[in-house]
Structure 1
Amino acid sequence: MTTVTVAVPFRAGALDREIHADYVTARLRELIPEARHLRVDVDGQFSRAAVRNEAVRQAGGGVVVLCDADTLPEAGPLRDAIAGAAGDGLLHLPYTTYRALSAEGTLAVYARGLDPHHAPAAETSRRPIGGVWVITADAYWAAGGMDESFVGWGFEDDAFWTAATTLLGAPVRHHGVITHLRHDPAVNTRSAEYRRNRGRYQTYLRARSSPTAMRALVGIPEEAA
């Protein structure tokens, strides 16, 4: 039987995000009670790439659910994604639609006990590729893991999606919804970190048509292919 680890990368320090992390962690335990549940951080500057790598290391094997601390999936699509990832070694996403709650919608979740998936959304989209990933530990490392040269906000999700597509095959989506709880945004598109991350991502786009080039970029020896 395949083991399942649900990991929430998170660092405390902002009250709204701490509240979200506590809520999401508790809900995930209700959705997948048989799984091992982790909340993961790493020392030093917070890096989503580094903390996700650490989460997969701690999982050790089996299927890993990497869920952002402000994002909640639905039970059915999440279980479908877990079963799919265990069987095919691809990256699975338990949603086709992303919903970002408004401040009022997020408040209704906590003050009125409203299910986040039914709370008012400020935005819906079918384009996002992050939020919740489901993948085996072996497949994660076969795609190179996450690139820890991405520091600060932006593009690490896009880079891993591109590497996984090139080295594993097209990611699989399962019909459903993920809902993002509102908090103060961290993005600064004028920062040096953002521009550096964007430039690094461009190297992934240039390598996406060549598995050999992609393996070289993510540090996988050709003999390990």
Structure 2
Amino acid sequence: MSAVSVIIPWRPAPSRVTAFDALTSWYAREFPEFTVQTVDTEDDVFVLAACRNRGIADASLDDVVIVNDADTIPEADALRAAVAAARASGLVHLPHTAYHWLGATGTTQYLAGLNPQQCEFELVRGACSGVYVTTPRTWERHGGQDERFRGWGYEDAAWNLAHHTLLGSPPQRHEGRVYALHHVAETRAGARYDANAALMERYRSAAGDPEAMRSLVSERVPVSAS
């Protein structure tokens, strides 16, 4: 049986520590058998795509890797189903069909011990991030994530289009919810964000065209290797 590990892209920020502590406590309680570790790169800004790529690359090709954002808690049964299916499906799995952003009020309720299903939330429609379950072999087959998305914005949406176009299917979802905990929002403006938006437009243009998408993916130069 292949191993299962959890990687959490993580660069400490004061408002994020509470959510990070809640997530790691959840794994210690629900899945003590999993190895949990954080991953970052040496980049001057936080490059989420590079963290994910590096963490997955460190595992054996057929191991199952859970890539868990530092503020997002899945439901245990959905995560188990995703882990079991990811071993041989050739697809990335999302252990959720609903993404609940708890906000400040819902997060306070959760941290006070309220069942997360009962916490106040905002439903984020179409969310394709938060928690991924994959193997390094599957991640390689569609190029992983584009490390040219620096700072915050668009890396998940671009990856979702590449997965659908190059693997012939969207990521496979499993019935359940993830709960995103509150923290100070990151700035999504400026030259770096504009560059991310422009790159995202190229992904939209290549969507559905495997040749165009392969060409776009082939341009990537890993930031984490520079």
Shift of 1:118: 2.9
Mapped partners of 2:191, 2:119: distance in 1: 36
Identity of aligned residues (%): 40
What's the Cα RMSD here? 1.6
Mapped partners of 1:19, 1:72: distance in 2: 13
Mapped partners of 2:118, 2:8: distance in 1: 23
Aligned to 2:223: none
Shift of 1:207: 1.6
Q: What are the superposed Cα offsets for residues 151-191 of structure 1, whole Å, 9 maximum, x if unpaired?
A: 11100001111111111232111110000101111142x32
Q: What are the superposed Cα offsets for residues 59-95 of structure 1, whole Å, 9 maximum, x if unpaired?
A: 2331111110000000001111111111211011100
User: Pairwise mapping of residues 1-225 of structure 1 onto structure 2 (< 5 A)?
Assistant: 1-12=1-12, 14-44=13-43, 45-61=45-61, 62-110=63-111, 112-121=112-121, 123-170=122-169, 171-188=171-188, 190-219=189-218
Shift of 1:98: 0.7
1:154·1:187 contact (CA, 8 Å) conserved in 2? Answer: no
Mapped partners of 1:185, 1:149: distance in 2: 21
Shift of 1:210: 2.1
Shift of 1:104: 1.9
1:90·1:169 contact (CA, 8 Å) conserved in 2? Answer: no
Structure scoring higher RCO (CA < 8 A, sep ≥ 6) equals 2
Q: What are the superposed Cα offsets for residues 87-124 of structure 1, whole Å, 9 maximum, x if unpaired?
A: 211011100111111312212233x2224343221x11
Unaligned runs of 5+ in 1: 221-225
Mapped partners of 2:187, 2:177: distance in 1: 23
Q: Could you tell me the TM-score, scaled by structure 2's length?
A: 0.90
Q: What are the superposed Cα offsets for residues 112-159 of structure 1, whole Å, 9 maximum, x if unpaired?
A: 2224343221x1133111111111111111111111110111000011
Q: Could you tell me the TM-score, scaled by structure 1's length?
A: 0.90
Shift of 1:51: 0.7
Which stretch shows the higher mean deviation, 191-200 or 25-34?
Answer: 25-34
Closer, same or farther: CA 119–194 of 1 in aligned 2, 3 Å: same
Closer, same or farther: CA 119–142 of 1 in aligned 2, 3 Å: same
Give the residue type in structure 2 aligned to 1:104: T
Mapped partners of 1:63, 1:216: distance in 2: 28
1:8·1:25 contact (CA, 8 Å) conserved in 2? Answer: no
1:139·1:168 contact (CA, 8 Å) conserved in 2? Answer: no
Q: Aligned to 2:18, what secondary structure does the other structure show?
A: helix
